[in-house]
Chain A
Amino acid sequence: MNDQTLTPEERAANLKGMGSSRKRVEDVRFTQGKGNYVDDIKLDGMLFGAFVRSPYAHARVVNVNKDAALAVPGVVAVLTAEDLSPLGLHWMPTLAGDKQMVLADGKVLFQGQEVAYVVAEDRYIAADAAELVEVDYEELPVLTDPFEALKSDVVLREDLEGQTEGAHGPRKHHNHIFTWEQGDKDATEAILAEADVVAEEMIYYHRTHPCPLETCGCVASMDKVTGKLTLHGTFQAPHAIRTVVSLISGIAEHNIRVISPDIGGGFGNKVGAYAGYVCSVVASIVTGRPVKWVENRMENLMSTAFARDYWMQGKIAATKDGKITGLWCHTTADHGGFDACADPTKFPAGFMNICTGSYDIPTAYLAVDGVYTNKAPGGVAYRCSFRVTEAAYFIERMIEVLAIKLNMDAAELRRINFIKADQFPYQSALGWEYDSGDYHTAWDKALKAVDYEGLRAEQAQQIEDFKAGKTRKLLGIGLTHFTEIVGAGPVKNCDILGLGMFDSCEIRIHPTGSAIARLGTISQGQGHATTFAQIIASEIGLPADDITLEEGDTDTAPYGLGTYGSRSTPVAGAATAMAARKIRAKAQMIAAYLLEVHDDDVEWDVDRFAVKGAPERFKTMKEIAFAAYNQAIPGLEPGLEAVSYYDPPNMTYPFGAYICVMEIDVDTGEWDVRKFYALDDCGTRINPMIIEGQVHGGVTEALAIAMGQEIAYDEMGNVKTATLMDFFIPTAWETPNYTTDHTVTPSPHHPIGAKGVGESPNVGGVPAFSNAVHDAFRPFGLVQSHMPHDHWRIWRIANGLGMHG
């Protein structure tokens, strides 16, 4: 091909770089059933592990009798806390500075807790034998309500008795974990005392679960000859897992290879370290054989990684014209039996202090109290950046509550309180520096797109019709303008277990002008192999199709903190661009040498360096790549590769305007989403097709959470929603079509201006759906009703408002 015949635009299009809706390279494998997920891994002599789990939410474990289980042919071992204790592995550290039992050490604190681990020749024998392990329990009083737990004499964590200092400061009660305070309490309370209007409400964001379609699992394989442990697993942070395994097992880190193969969805579920991983590693060391553990769906929903469960008491102050003057929030956070929240170390309540949202609120105060209860540990960011979903739901509900108090239109109330475009970078009252935004433009575009005025007129007509007995259906218009905080984060204030939250990319250019790039992140469906190649293609002018991307193998990939909190593009994406720029800088020197001009006399042109003023004299990146390997260039090392470890100067702040139009049947509680409009601003857009797909998926997860999905317990601590029969996941039938839209406000500090998008639709979607339900009943007096808004609860709202005659 003679490149000179192509225009720069044509050459750029051939690269399939940033902005291209490039088809995904992953899909060729996945559509043929040729993915390689953890449960697809089969090693010679592999054994299977299965857990014996507690049926009780709170009980003493008096005795564990393994005899019957060990007598089953094919059973190789049965591990209990007693077996792990000499290794110091019967407890493990959590990501939140607490510790957690690997196997029950004298008592259990939640239903489904791991009590014993059976290792057998196949999964059927393991399951058979697990049934035969006899455990004697002595039931203890159960605490499932965090407010009760803070008053109760019942001590859940006897191992912490007498410890008045926790990982995050003083503990006020034996079931209390921490208090985290942000902002100015006195100033906020003074404003509340003097305000024209104060709206107060308890906003509960219920407990739910990320529930990826693939559950958690691993294959641990200890090679006794080499002393090397290979651990395949569903890890969203493989490098951090390697370090954690090394620290708790004592195996030197260079002797541990962690591999995250294809991951069947993560959504936060696969960030933490679970008992199954530890037990499998121990079992492999003990037996000398590979050991596979894959949890079933019930185990997944009952034991690994719940999300949310925040009781958020809010007060919002405003002038009578609707200008917000102050925000106060006290959150009671139910963390379950162990504090295993997956948050950066200094943020025990994650980024809950983004709860001032998109609004210019001059004074604010937030306090969060973490509480132990007899529920599963977790507190992961389910498609969310560390409690941002909770924060966004809180402020977007409080805005609606305030609108009711002021008798104002909620769209207008938002508009007059938005941070203005010229206020960025914006310092929030709770300590963040928002990088960029243009909320008014996005908001106006969204309202216009859905014909907001027209919808309100239609709603008014429908209310009249309802009152006249012509219909039993109501129309709800759910508004949301959310601001996210993603891309953790600057190493100076974000770490996990002391590991700074940078990320990395290494790029090697091959002599013939193709490349391989390796990153510290790991895709769970986001399409990294497609999009990160696009960044490189645009930066160095080699076609994305000629760039292989690898992640997840700690023996080959550079160290990184992994994929969660929408951090891949903001952090690893930045590292990718920076590594590519290092390569381009060297390429410039090579090109200048080949063209026999000074380095400064060549300039970059899509896929080549050309002599300034003489564009016909150029060297393409492909030619430069070959020269890097075959020419002895004075002053330059051979080869063409680079690595970047990127520590972002700030987080990124994606935002969006979502509007949901929902019809609700007052008599049955059934709902129908008539329209859902999602405008996202994630800065520079790398692959519009993938962004749109992320929005569809995230809004659908939001639909699930808002409209029915929950992890519910009865008063005995039994999980009532531990199968997909009870745990709501919308099918294609319930799921509406979405209209997506965008504005582009690049991040000023990110090398390519990208902000991250995967979690925005969940953050914005939940309040949009919930606000639609509330909005439908607002004319009839509803102020606040807790999610999930399943048919029964919606029916109950109508019933409570006297609408059933």
Chain B
Amino acid sequence: MSKMHVKLTVNGKQVEGLAEPRTLLIHFLREDLKITGPHIGCETSHCGACTVDIDGKSVKSCTTFVAQVNGADVTTVEGLTNDDGSLGVLQEMFREHHGLQCGFCTPGMITRAHRLLQENPNPSEEDIRFGMAGNLCRCTGYQNIVKAISASADMLNAQNQPSSREAVGQTKVEAAE
């Protein structure tokens, strides 16, 4: 099948490549760019393990063609780590509150939570549960995921930072505890 040229920004870096019109974004990310944080859990948009952030929206990359996002700005969980390599606030809080077990849903969870906190910096428990309902977890029962997101919101608000992307390093996270 003939291939098309695609160009997009992924985690702040310009990338380009050749892809078939039918190539799914998740496969382009995982196989061409070797960004394997987003996972494939269902291939039908139900589980959310493949969630990435595209131009400020949470999107399930298992049902998105890479051709559809030509020119877009894509963020995956890899892009939510601090520039110095330390864990971003959400990543740290998921660890702190035991918000993950097998880790398979975690990249999608954290990426979705990142957007949720942009959409609503002060979510109630109900807001978090509703806002995360597109991401399934088989291990945790969500209770600690909700705690982790709530703690992240508190921490981000305390630091008056709009996003975990530019946020604080490990030392500040520890200082806030």
Using an 8 Å CB-CB cutoff, how does the interface string of B149-171 with A read, 1 for contact, 0 for none?
00000000000000000000000
Q: Does A31 interact with chain B (Cβ within 8 Å)?
A: yes
Q: Are B103 and A262 in contact (CB under 8 A)?
A: yes
Q: Are A42 and B104 in contact (CB under 8 A)?
A: no
Q: Are A524 and B102 in contact (CB under 8 A)?
A: yes
Chain A residues with CB under 8 A of B38: 33
Minimal Cβ-Cβ distance residue in B for A525: B102
Using an 8 Å CB-CB cutoff, how does the interface string of B122-134 with A read, 1 for contact, 0 for none?
0000001110111
Q: Does B106 interact with chain A (Cβ within 8 Å)?
A: yes
Q: In the complex the two chains form, what is the Cα distance from A24 to B97 in whole Å?
A: 10
Q: Does A211 interact with chain B (Cβ within 8 Å)?
A: yes
Given B98, B104, B128, which contacts A37 in the complex, CB threshold below 8 Å? B104
How far apart are B18's CB and chain A's nearest CB, in angstroms? 13
Q: Are A40 and B36 in contact (CB under 8 A)?
A: yes
How far apart are A296's CB and chain B's nearest CB, in angstroms? 5
Knowing A23-B96, A723-B42, the reply to whether A697 touches B106 (Cβ < 8 A) is no
Task: Decide if the interface of chain B is mainly helix, strand, loop or mixed.
Answer: loop
Q: How many residues of B contact A (CB 8 A)?
A: 60
Q: In the complex the two chains form, what is the Cα distance from A463 to B132 in whole Å?
A: 36
Q: Are A214 and B143 in contact (CB under 8 A)?
A: no
Given A123, A692, A732, which contacts B145 in the complex, CB threshold below 8 Å? A732
Q: In the complex the two chains form, what is the Cα distance from A732 to B141 in whole Å?
A: 8
Chain B residues with CB under 8 A of A249: none
Q: Are B98 and A697 in contact (CB under 8 A)?
A: no
Considering only residues 681-700 of chain A, those with a C-beta below 8 Å from chain B are 689-690, 692-694, 696-700
Q: How many residues of A contact B (CB 8 A)?
A: 56
Q: Are B128 and A732 in contact (CB under 8 A)?
A: yes
Q: Are A211 and B106 in contact (CB under 8 A)?
A: no
How far apart are B138's CB and chain A's nearest CB, in angstroms? 5
Q: Does A527 interact with chain B (Cβ within 8 Å)?
A: yes
Chain B residues with CB under 8 A of A689: 98
How many pairs of residues, A versus B, come closer than 8 Å at their CB atoms?
178
Q: Does B58 interact with chain A (Cβ within 8 Å)?
A: no
Q: Are A212 and B42 in contact (CB under 8 A)?
A: no
Knowing A26-B103, A693-B101, A724-B47, the reply to whether A39 touches B40 (Cβ < 8 A) is yes
Given B80, B95, B104, B141, which contacts A735 in the complex, CB threshold below 8 Å? B141
Q: Are B94 and A31 in contact (CB under 8 A)?
A: yes
Q: Which of A141-149, A263-271, A507-515, A770-778 contacts B (4 or more CB under 8 A)?
A: A263-271
Q: Are A35 and B42 in contact (CB under 8 A)?
A: no
Q: Are A27 and B140 in contact (CB under 8 A)?
A: no
Using an 8 Å CB-CB cutoff, how does the interface string of A283-303 with B read, 1 for contact, 0 for none?
000000000001011000000
Q: In the complex the two chains form, what is the Cα distance from A37 to B37 in whole Å?
A: 10
Chain B residues with CB under 8 A of A693: 98, 101, 139-140, 144
Minimal Cβ-Cβ distance residue in A for B106: A30
Q: Are B95 and A24 in contact (CB under 8 A)?
A: yes
Given B90, B135, B142, which contacts A700 in the complex, CB threshold below 8 Å? B142
Chain A residues with CB under 8 A of B137: 213, 697, 732
Chain B residues with CB under 8 A of A215: 41
Q: In the complex the two chains form, what is the Cα distance from A124 to B38 in whole Å?
A: 19
Q: Are A42 and B31 in contact (CB under 8 A)?
A: yes
Minimal Cβ-Cβ distance residue in B for A215: B41
Q: Are A696 and B144 in contact (CB under 8 A)?
A: yes
Q: In the complex the two chains form, what is the Cα distance from A40 to B49 in whole Å?
A: 14
Chain B residues with CB under 8 A of A40: 30, 36
Q: In the complex the two chains form, what is the Cα distance from A526 to B139 in whole Å?
A: 9
Chain A residues with CB under 8 A of B144: 693, 696
Q: In the complex the two chains form, what is the Cα distance from A211 to B76 in whole Å?
A: 25
How far apart are A654's CB and chain B's nearest CB, in angstroms? 18
Q: Are A213 and B136 in contact (CB under 8 A)?
A: yes
Minimal Cβ-Cβ distance residue in B for A701: B138
Given A27, A32, A690, which contacts B81 in the complex, CB threshold below 8 Å? A32
Q: Are B34 and A42 in contact (CB under 8 A)?
A: yes
Using an 8 Å CB-CB cutoff, how does the interface string of A8-44 with B read, 1 for contact, 0 for none?
0000000000000001101111111111010110100
Q: Are A696 and B143 in contact (CB under 8 A)?
A: yes
Q: In the complex the two chains form, what is the Cα distance from A696 to B142 in whole Å?
A: 8
Minimal Cβ-Cβ distance residue in B for A262: B103
Knowing A30-B106, A37-B104, A213-B138, the reply to whether A297 touches B44 (Cβ < 8 A) is yes
Q: Are A35 and B104 in contact (CB under 8 A)?
A: yes
Considering only residues 14-29 of chain B, those with a C-beta below 8 Å from chain A are 20, 22-23, 27
Q: Are A724 and B128 in contact (CB under 8 A)?
A: no
Given A214, A296, A731, which contacts B104 in the complex, CB threshold below 8 Å? A214
**Chain A residues in the interface with B (C-beta under 8 A):** 23-24, 26-35, 37, 39-40, 42, 123-124, 211-215, 262-265, 267, 294, 296-297, 524-527, 689-690, 692-694, 696-701, 723-725, 729, 731-733, 735, 737-738
**Chain B residues in the interface with A (C-beta under 8 A):** 20, 22-23, 27, 30-31, 34-44, 46-47, 49, 76-78, 80-81, 87, 90-92, 94-96, 98, 100-107, 110, 128-130, 132-146
Could you pull out 30 A-B pairs where Cβ atoms are within 8 angstroms?
Answer: A23-B96, A24-B98, A26-B103, A31-B90, A31-B110, A32-B37, A32-B77, A32-B91, A35-B36, A39-B30, A123-B27, A212-B104, A212-B138, A213-B39, A213-B41, A213-B136, A214-B41, A297-B42, A524-B102, A525-B102, A525-B104, A694-B101, A696-B140, A731-B136, A731-B142, A732-B135, A732-B137, A735-B129, A737-B143, A738-B141
Across the A-B interface, give the 7 residue pairs with the lowest CB-CB distance, nearest first.
A33-B37, A525-B102, A264-B104, A30-B103, A696-B141, A700-B141, A525-B101
Q: Knowing that A699-B141, A724-B47, A731-B142 touch, tell me 9 more A-B residue pairs with CB under 8 angstroms.
A: A23-B98, A265-B101, A525-B103, A696-B144, A697-B140, A700-B141, A723-B44, A724-B44, A731-B134
